[in-house]
Structure 1
């Protein structure tokens, strides 16, 4: 039952978000060999001014050992 949470800056169209979710589901189904009905995708828009405190610090910095892809930036430097 994979659930994928995507956090991004505002500004993408609804069509882009739907397309992203659909592609994520296709890849998850293909790679994890599970049914499409078991996959869920959430998209949350975070304002750029809130990114460091609401995303980078709690989700990236504090959980770096869980990341399979590290970002190439640090908003605190």
Structure 2
């Protein structure tokens, strides 16, 4: 039962978000050998001025041991 959470800056079209969700779900189904009914995906838009506090610190900095892809930036430097 994978649930995927995608956080990104605002500005992408609804079509882009739908396509992103479809592609991610397709890959999850293929790689994890699960049914589409098992997968859920949410997209949350975060304003750039809120990114460090709402995403970077809680989800990246404080959970770095759970990241499989580290970002190449640090908003606190």
| Distance in 1 separating the partners of 2:7 and 2:17 | 11
TM-score between both structures, scaled by the size of structure 1? 0.99
Q: Which runs of 5+ in 1 are unaligned?
A: none
Q: CA RMSD in A?
A: 0.2
Give the number of equivalent residue pairs: 77
Q: Quote how far apart the aligned CAs of 1:45 are.
A: 0.1
Task: Note the alpha carbon deviations across 1:28-77, whole angstroms, 9 max, x for none.
Answer: 00000000110000000000000000000000000000000000000000
Match of 1:49 in 2: 49
Secondary structure, counterpart of 1:58 in structure 2: helix
Q: TM-score, normalised by structure 2?
A: 0.99
Paired residues for 1:11-30 under 5 Å: 11-30=11-30
Give the Cα–Cα distance (whole angstroms) in 2 for the partners of residues 30 and 54 of structure 1.
Answer: 31
CA distance in 2, matches of 1:54, 1:17: 20
Query: Residue 5 of structure 1 corresponds to which residue in structure 2?
Result: 5
Report runs of 4+ in structure 1 exceeding 4 Å deviation: none
Q: CA deviation at 1:13?
A: 0.1
